[in-house]
Amino acid sequence: MHEHYEFVTGPLAWMAFLIFIFGSLFRFISLYRLAKKKDGAVFEYMNFKYALRSIGHWLTPFGSRSMRLNPALTGVTFLFHISLFTVPIFALAHVVLWKERFDISWFTLPDAAIDIMTFVVIASCLYFLWRRIMVPEVRYLTTPGDYIILAIVAAPFITGFWAYHQFPGSASMTIVHIISGEVMLAAIPFTKLFHMFMFPFTRGYIGSEFGGVRMARDW
């Protein structure tokens, strides 16, 4: 088991990071070239003031009309994203791992807070799954890949909770947890998860066009 742990936290982890870094660079370069080819004027529209105004409103809970029209979805989405980013960064076990591997560390959150946010992520994934199955307009746009992404996102949190609380089979579940986290990291550049990087650009462009050209709000 120790050899497996060393492998998944060593060579396999580095492989996941490299795929994430170079895959993201590839996506950025490809999208930049595509934008230049399809609509070169896209960059001329960009306006820092209107871009930040739009991004600010869409990062504010219930800051847009569409958010206010869908309060349940808005609440779940914001709690989901906050928890999704907070747990991996501030969980004690993760900070300890960074300390062991790179001799760097930072403050951690209490176990109870991490547990609550872990449940938030898992429950949110179930909610998103329910919407894709039960809401007609969402089901129509859903592809098999969307279900796979939900599984990829939920897996590290389910396995992490299991392993941290040392339920039966926790040693093996620790390995599964690490691998599932690495799969998620490597999948980011090649799936819809890449929207975490594209959001500022797409929202900034829309905000610039609406504010600078149409003289209107986009929220």
Instruction: Specify whether the CB–CB gap between 172 and 201 falls below 8 A.
Output: no
Annotated domain spans of the chain: 2-213
**Residue 211 pLDDT grade (very low, low, confident, very high; cuts 50, 70, 90):** confident
Instruction: Specify whether the CB–CB gap between 210 and 216 falls below 8 A.
Output: yes
pLDDT over 70 percentage in the chain:
97
Distance of alpha carbon 43 from alpha carbon 37, whole angstroms: 12
Give residue-wise pLDDT tens across range 49-84.
888 888 888 888 998 888 899 999 999 999 999 999
pTM (two decimals): 0.88
Residue 17 has pLDDT above 90, yes or no: yes
What pLDDT is stored for residue 209 in this prediction?
Answer: 78
Q: Nearest CA to 130 among 119, 109, 146, 114?
A: 146
What pLDDT is stored for residue 35 in this prediction?
Answer: 78
- Residue 208 half-sphere exposure toward CB, CA atoms < 13 A: 16
DSSP assignments along the chain, one per residue: -HHHHHHHHTHHHHHHHHHHHHHHHHHHHHHHHHHHHH-TTHHHH--HHHHHHHHHHHTSTT-SHHHHH-HHHHHHHHHHHHHHHHHHHH-HHHHHHHHHHHS-------HHHHHHHHHHHHHHHHHHHHHHHH-HHHHHH--HHHHHHHHHHHHHHHHHHHHHTT-TTHHHHHHHHHHHHHHHHHHGGGSGGGHHHHHHHHHHHHHHIIIIIS-S---
Residue 38 has pLDDT above 90, yes or no: no
Q: Nearest CA to 93 among 201, 5, 212, 195?
A: 5
| Type of residue at 171 | A
Give residue-wise pLDDT tens across range 90-142.
999 999 989 988 899 999 999 999 999 999 999 999 999 999 999 999 999 99
What pLDDT is stored for residue 45 in this prediction?
Answer: 73
**Residue 41 pLDDT grade (very low, low, confident, very high; cuts 50, 70, 90):** low
Query: What is the fold of 2-213?
Result: Fumarate Reductase Cytochrome B subunit (1.20.950)
List the structure tokens of 27: 């996506």
pLDDT over 90 percentage in the chain:
65
